[in-house]
Amino acid sequence: MKATYAIGIDVGGTNTKFGIVDKKGKILVQDRIKTNAQDSVDGFIEDLAAKLEPMIKQYGGIENFVGIGMGAPNANYYAGTIEYAANLKWKGIIPMAELLKARFGLTTKMTNDANAAAVGEMQYGATKGCKNFISITLGTGVGSGIVIDGKIVLGHNGFAGELGHVIVRNNGRLHKGTGLRGSLEAYASATGVRDTTIEMLQDYPEKPSILRSYSMDELTSEAVFKCAEQGDELANEVFKFTGTILGEALATFILFSAPEVIVLFGGLTKAGDLLLQPTKQAMEENLLQVFKNKVRIELSDLNEADAAILGASALVW
């Protein structure tokens, strides 16, 4: 009997989403677990198995499956490993493909979570048919996938396209996961928005803001977005600052691969024009003449989880 399904797994800094996908790219069933609920990777795999095994049974058992595709931070396509991922509890080098193969009996292929999202985007989303684009995921962290001439850039060691760690402010804010100072992820992520908010609340004590009454736990990027929508000036400043830094970084990215489009994904993009308007402005201001008004920024029209699950599953077809 010929295998008719693939499993796509997207490991994010907060949630791990997974689903069963058919050959046409339809997600038949999906679910999620907390990525860092367990201290060990073995615990993670057991959490995953508790939900994934019933799904596999529901679709006829492993003989109906071609394999598992996984997108994960710092995943190495060539080695099937996750290496020194800043936002995960598992430190060092994790032989994830091997562990999943042992647990589920299915061949596993891996790539960077953002690369997986870019593949999903290219096959099913806004950039369908586009040969040169960069996708940026603005979530707990900042991920990226670079597509050149229709192919994901993997690089010599499989770790290409880690644009979240580009330094945008020399000697800037410390990024705890990597020890780098002033990286894009320290600013243009959900965590970055929260940190910027706390900094601004401290730096401008005279400026009134609803956010001053929020507890530290309540100060999430979503909360800041809601306050900004309601006209809170400081919350608006936070998004202006974040977008400016993001736009400057995009101008740099364009110098590399001269993409046609930059596609933005992830929770932070829910802020819409609050984020996009300063992003576009800063990007254009920092572009070389030959690129001015030529590169589009688009929000993904795929559900982020769907894009990543689809892209991951596409690794094993």
Which residues form the interface with its own copies (CB under 8 A)? 74, 76, 83-84, 131-132, 146, 148-149, 151, 153-163, 165-170, 178, 180, 248, 251-253, 255-260, 286, 288-291, 294
Locate 243 and state its tokens. 């977008």
Residue 169 Cβ vs its own copies, minimum distance, rounded to whole Å: 6
Nearer to its own copies, 99 or 146 (CB): 146
Rounded CA separation 134/311 (Å): 15
Least Cβ distance, residue 147 to its own copies (angstroms): 11
At position 159, the amino acid (one-letter code) is F
Question: For residues 34 and 294, which CB has a smaller minimum distance to its own copies in the complex?
Answer: 294
At 45, list the tokens: 């795999």
The amino acid present at 291, given as its one-letter code, is F
* Gyration radius (Cα) of the chain, Å: 20
Nearer to its own copies, 59 or 291 (CB): 291
Smallest distance from its own copies to CB 59, Å: 35
Question: Please, what is the minimum distance in Å from the beta carbon of residue 143 to its own copies?
Answer: 12
Side chain identity at 43, as an amino acid letter?
G
Q: Which is nearer to its own copies, 262 or 314 (by Cβ)?
A: 262
Taking the complex as a whole, the smallest distance from the CB of residue 255 to its own copies amounts, in Å, to: 5
Taking the complex as a whole, the smallest distance from the CB of residue 30 to its own copies amounts, in Å, to 30
CA dihedral 294, 295, 301, 306 (to 10 degrees): 150
* Residue at token pair 């690129």: 291
- State which residue, 106 or 166, has the beta carbon closest to its own copies: 166
> Helices 190-203 and 221-229 meet at what angle, rounded to 10?
60
Instruction: Identify each DSSP E strand in 23-64 by its residue range.
Output: 27-34
Residues 6+ apart with CB under 8 A from 45: 99, 100, 103
Q: Which is nearer to its own copies, 42 or 285 (CB)?
A: 285
Q: How far apart are CA 134 and CA 313, in angstroms?
A: 20
Q: Which one, of 312, 309, 314, 311, lies nearest residue 29 by Cα?
A: 309
Question: In the chain, how many H helices and how many E strands?
Answer: 8, 13
Of the pair 201, 261, the CB lying nearest its own copies is at 261
CB of 110 to its own copies, least distance (A): 14
